[in-house]
Chain A
């Protein structure tokens, strides 16, 4: 039973990775590409971790997996944020009709 749920999680994670990659190719702008890749990778890694947690047998293994997932969820948004800020500093123009707000 757990194996079936884990395999469904794997298929969903591959689908989300594929959606992120599709967004990386289809969007017109570095910022929108960043958005697509960030969302898709975060959900895909979460689903892979959920499936591996269901498949794992001992508690130390689950602990290591949880640590790996939390490390990824710390690192990936930080990296996306810093990349967006670097793009703004380098003066890369967003796509047309973008509202600029100071926030």
Chain B
């Protein structure tokens, strides 16, 4: 529970958008684990299905967010990063 709050703090103060995406991912994994533990604590094992649906919804939502925040083509342009000479040396 405390870890969920800490990761949420990272999601709030995260300097870039990718940081927020990473912390939302960590949040969903922790929350699905908490749902599994609640299913065992209350002896109500139908709650495991809730964990399935939560994981799948988080995955599809994350895919949608990634699709929105990137450009329309998914080609890597590594030459935009620094040290392009190093890259050329590797390929030759």
Contact = CB atoms under 8 A, between A and B. Distances in A.
Interface in A44-103: 44-45, 48-49, 52, 55-56, 61, 64-65, 67-68, 71-72, 75-76, 78-80, 82-83, 85-94, 99-102
A100 B81 contact: yes
Given A45-B33, A82-B63, A83-B66, A89 B71 contact: yes
Contacts of B37: 48, 52
A33 B69 contact: no
A32 B21 CA distance: 14
A85 B52 contact: no
A17 B52 contact: no
Contacts of B59: 75, 78-79
Contacts of B7: 21, 24
A24 B22 contact: yes
Contact of B26 (A41, A64, A92): A41
Give the interface SS of chain A, mostly helix, strand, loop or mixed. helix
- For chain A, the bracket of interface size reads 35 or more
A30 interface: yes
A64 B48 contact: yes
Nearest to B48: A64
B12 interface: no
B22 A72 contact: no
B52 to A, nearest CB: 6
B52 A68 contact: yes
B25 A52 contact: no
A93 B80 CA distance: 9
